[in-house]
Each structure stands twice: as C-alpha cells, then as structure tokens.
C-alpha cells in the first residue's frame, strides 16, 4: 500500500489512528499497530508477510536466548544464527541472481561450464530495511546495549511498524523500546499536530514536487539530449531523488508522531554539506549510522592506523553500495563515495581541507551530483552515453527550456538555502492550518496517478 493512495489515507490510516488512540494499554496499541502494519505490507503481496514474520520470530527467539545464555560461545553461536538467518534471507532474495549471474559470466570468460541457476526472484518490498532493524536487535542484545522484550507482539510492532517499514528510516530497537512501553494514553496533541504537518509536508514533497519534476528529468531521455538540455534535466533528477526519498522519511516520521513515536530523522538538508563525510551525516542518516555502529566500529573505527581507517571506510562504502542494489554499478557508486570520503580524510590530516564553507559546499555538491551518472545508470554503455551527451556530443543546443530552468531555480533555492521540515518553527497558527489543508487537498488530486517511491526497489 502506498502512502499516497486512497486506501491508505482514507482507510487504513484513520482506522488505525482511531483504534490506536482508543486502546488504553500499550499492549493493545502494539496489537493495533501490528495488524495495521501487516495489512499495509500484505497489500503488495500477502506472501511477503510470511518472510517478515520469519525474520521477526527468528530474531525474537535469538535475542531472548542470547540474553539468557551465559557461555560466550553459546552467545556467539546464537548471534551467528541470527546474522546468518537474516543475511541469508536478504542474500537469497536480493543478491542470489546477481552473484549467480556474475559467477556465470566469469565462468564463461574462463571457459568453464559451471552454471549457477537464476531464479528471477521478486524482491520483497522493504526487505533491506527491516532486515537491518531485526539484526540490530540481536546485535545490541549481544553487546549488552539492549534488553530483550518478552512480548512478541511488541517486537512485531517494532519490526513491522508501517510508517517506516518499506523505505526507512532504519529504526533500532534501542530507539523505540522505551517509547513502545510508554505510549501515551489517548492522544499527545503536540506531537500529533506536528506529525500531521510533517505527514502532509512529506506527501506534498512526493506528489506535488517529486512526481511532477520526474517527467522533466527522466533519465531515459538523456542519451539524445544536447548539453544545454542535458544538464538541467540531470540536476533535476538528482533533486528529484532527494525529494522522492526524503518525502518518504518525512511521512514516516510524521506518522510515527501521530502514533506517539519519535522516529530518527533520516535527512537533514544533505545538499548543504561541506564535505562527503558530512553529506553522509545528512543523507540517509540512519543507514550511515547503522554502518558506522555495526560495521565500522567493530572493524576498529578511527582508533586503528590511518591506512586501516581508509580501508575500513572503503569497506563501509562498498557495503553501502551493495545494500542499495544487486548491481556492480551500485558497488561502483559506493566506492566512489568511499574515495571521496577518504580524500577528505587525507586532506584533513594534511591540513589542506577547504576552509571556505561556500566553496566546500559547491565542491561537495558537484561531487555528489556526479555520482548520479553511476547511481541511476543501468549499465556502463548508458553511463558513457550520458557522459557524451553531457559534454556536448549531441551538440551544445540553444537556451534551455525556461520552464525547466524556473523549476530548477526554485528547487535550488529550496534545498540549498531554506530550512528543512525539521528546522521549521511551527506556531500552529490558523494560516498554517489553511496551508496544510490546501496542500493535502492538492495532494489527493494526485492520488489518481500514484508513482511508487524510487527506494522501494532497495
């Protein structure tokens, strides 16, 4: 089920909120949340609910057993079961065909006959997100950072929580454990009002901005473009990606607040970054922090030799690339970001990092924007055809379309210079209410042509 759809906005959401607010005890609220979340998830394909349930039960059991076990070897074995189970499911559904295909190509090049079977598996929506969530539970219990819950329903509510189930933010058990126990009786009006505003703003970002910008920026049209029409479209595509993904997070956080839950912020004006590491503290924040806490720090973090830090950084970004999709282009995109981060670390160590904030922002933005050549492409030939169009192989072209330039200009002002949804100081005035209601009504008109979120494929 999409957020920007009639069944969700006029059916599941209001019904869930009513039952959730009316339920007097946290346990009952958890049950309402679980039911709503499974309906939400099963709307795509009810069979995927089984997979979600498998992940949930596996980690619920493993987490409980790890907490009870006293022998280190036993604890390690249980953690290994959880990690293998989770990554096994993720690996099979998301990466089997990719690795099998890569293996087959390599075997063909080497003249070997071995052929790994391809299953052409349909990727369950949101599997990359909820797998990381359940994994964080057992790892945190193993490390002693979290206590397991005895309530399966509460744990199911954590894993399946519909606001962020399919495209993040990636929520950790430690962030919501206490919140789930202390869900307010009735309605917390302050957070509910903020949640409503954030949901409507996120909805507007998606259906009024992202979905309208995309036709102007569709990469399928890039190859034949002149340079003058390529670059505005290319910039717009990058901004579209930001609006599309961050709008989902805004809506998720807004929905969380409506339920009385504070979910972590996932985007914090990423294009205002002055370096690549800063960018990764502002873009998909929860993925970056997950990789930092569960991979980078266990590898030694920043406390090892500098060369090792650089290697660990590259490993992290390799994994981030792979997380995004089963394709060598995503891996290349991850490595590209890793090289940018390492470059900044080296420059900083040598004292040659750019001090001028404005210049640093421009350079960082340029670096990030160029990553789109790899991120959005489907193969190397496509990337090269875009490069050719970008440097004017199809001609420089005349003046760009004024309409496209106007849209681009407005978006640049918005993403580079204006406060984001979380920095806004709400006063809950009547006119704020009017703007929110009008935005909502405008969004409903777009429900008739819903467009899926780009990040659903991850």
Partner 1 sequence: MPQAQIPALENSVPASREKGRRHFIWVTSLLVFLLALQASFNYLVNPVATFRSNRGLGPQINQRRIKVDLLRDFAPPPEILILGSSRVRNIDPELVGRTFGANAFNAGVQNGGPRDWFAFARYSVRELDCPLRLVMVGVDPDNFLRDTVAYNHAVYVTELRNQLPHPWRDWLETRKELVSPYLTEKSWQVLVNRFQGKNAPKTAGAKLKRLHRDLLHPPPPGKKLTPRADGYFPEDSFGQGQKIKVSLGKAFSWNTPFNPEAVEYWEALAALAAERHFTLIAFVIPMSPRLEDHLDLVAPTYRSRLRDARRFLRKAGSANVVVCEIDSALLNFDDYSDLYHPGRASSESIIRQVYDCARKAGKI
Please give the positions annotated as active site.
Answer: 324
Nearer to partner 1, 197 or 313 (CB): 197
Whole-number Å distance between alpha carbons of 294 and 133? 12
User: By the criterion CB under 8 A, which residues form the site for partner 1?
Assistant: 6, 187-194, 196-197, 200, 253, 257, 262, 265, 268, 273-275, 277-278, 281-282, 285, 344, 348, 353, 420, 422-428, 430, 432-434, 436-438, 440-441, 444-445, 448
Nearer to partner 1, 239 or 279 (CB): 279
Residue 178 CA, chain-centre distance (Å), reads 24
Whole-number Å distance between alpha carbons of 382 and 220? 10
DSSP state of 420: -
Nearer to partner 1, 178 or 399 (CB): 178
- 442 half-sphere exposure, CB direction, 13 A CA radius: 17
In angstroms, what is the minimal distance from the CB of 196 to partner 1? 6
Instruction: Kindly tell me the number of DSSP H helices and DSSP E strands found in the chain.
Output: 20, 0
In angstroms, what is the minimal distance from the CB of 279 to partner 1? 9
150 Cβ neighbours under 8 A, 6+ residues apart = 64
Coil vs helix vs strand at 379: coil
256 burial via Cβ count (<10 Å: 0-12, 13-18, 19+): buried
In angstroms, what is the minimal distance from the CB of 171 to partner 1? 15
DSSP string, 390-429: HTTTT---SSPPHHHHHHHHHHHHHHHHS--TTT------
Nearer to partner 1, 281 or 382 (CB): 281
In angstroms, what is the minimal distance from the CB of 365 to partner 1? 15
123's tokens: 């990727």
Whole-number Å distance between alpha carbons of 253 and 205? 14
Whole-number Å distance between alpha carbons of 238 and 242? 7
Nearer to partner 1, 344 or 376 (CB): 344
DSSP state of 376: S
In angstroms, what is the minimal distance from the CB of 293 to partner 1? 15
266's tokens: 């996932």
Query: H helices within 218-305, ranges in order?
Result: 227-258, 276-282, 285-291
Nearer to partner 1, 141 or 421 (CB): 421
Nearer to partner 1, 95 or 440 (CB): 440
In angstroms, what is the minimal distance from the CB of 104 to partner 1? 31
In angstroms, what is the minimal distance from the CB of 434 to partner 1? 7
Residue 195: how many other CB atoms lie within 10 Å:
24
């Amino acid at each position: 089920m999409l957020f920007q759809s009639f069944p969700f906005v006029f059916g599941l959401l209001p019904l869930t909120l009513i039952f959730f607010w009316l339920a007097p005890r946290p346990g009952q609220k958890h049950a309402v949340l679980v039911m709503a979340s499974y309906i939400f998830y099963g709307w795509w394909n009810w069979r995927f609910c089984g997979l979600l349930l498998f992940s949930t039960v596996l980690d619920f059991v493993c987490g409980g057993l790890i907490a009870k076990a006293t022998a280190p070897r036993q604890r390690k074995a249980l953690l290994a079961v959880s990690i293998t189970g989770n990554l096994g499911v993720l690996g099979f559904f998301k990466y089997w065909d990719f690795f099998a295909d890569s293996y087959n190509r390599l075997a063909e090049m080497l003249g070997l006959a071995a052929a790994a079977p391809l299953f052409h598996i349909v990727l369950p929506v949101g599997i990359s997100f909820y797998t990381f969530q359940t994994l964080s539970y057992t790892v945190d219990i193993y490390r002693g950072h979290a206590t397991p819950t005895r309530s399966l329903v509460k744990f199911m509510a954590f894993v399946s929580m519909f606001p962020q189930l399919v495209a993040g933010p990636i929520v950790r058990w430690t962030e919501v454990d206490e919140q789930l126990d202390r869900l307010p009786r009735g309605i917390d009006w302050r957070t509910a009002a903020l949640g409503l505003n954030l949901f409507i703003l996120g909805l507007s970002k998606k259906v009024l901005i992202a979905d309208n910008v995309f036709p102007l920026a569709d990469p399928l049209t890039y190859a034949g473009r002149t340079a003058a029409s390529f670059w505005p479209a290319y910039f717009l595509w990058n901004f579209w990606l930001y609006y599309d993904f961050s709008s989902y997070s805004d809506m998720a956080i807004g929905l969380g607040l409506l339920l009385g839950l504070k979910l972590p912020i996932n985007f914090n004006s990423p294009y205002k970054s002055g370096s690549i590491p800063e960018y990764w503290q502002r873009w998909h924040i929860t993925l970056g922090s997950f990789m930092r806490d569960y991979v980078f720090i266990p590898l030694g973090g920043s406390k090892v030799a500098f060369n090792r830090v650089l290697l660990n950084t590259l490993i992290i970004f390799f994994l981030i690339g792979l997380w995004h999709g089963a394709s060598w282009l995503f891996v290349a995109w991850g490595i590209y970001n890793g090289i940018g981060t390492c470059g900044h670390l080296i420059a900083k160590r040598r004292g040659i990092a750019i001090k001028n904030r404005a210049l640093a922002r421009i350079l960082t933005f340029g670096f990030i924007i160029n990553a789109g050549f790899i991120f959005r492409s489907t193969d190397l030939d496509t990337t090269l055809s875009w490069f050719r169009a970008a440097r004017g192989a199809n001609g420089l072209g005349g003046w760009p379309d004024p309409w496209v330039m106007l849209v681009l200009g407005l978006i640049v002002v918005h993403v580079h210079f204006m406060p984001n949804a979380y920095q806004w100081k709400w006063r809950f005035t009547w006119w704020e209410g009017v703007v929110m209601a009008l935005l909502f009504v405008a969004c409903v008109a777009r429900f008739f042509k819903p467009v899926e979120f780009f990040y659903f494929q991850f």
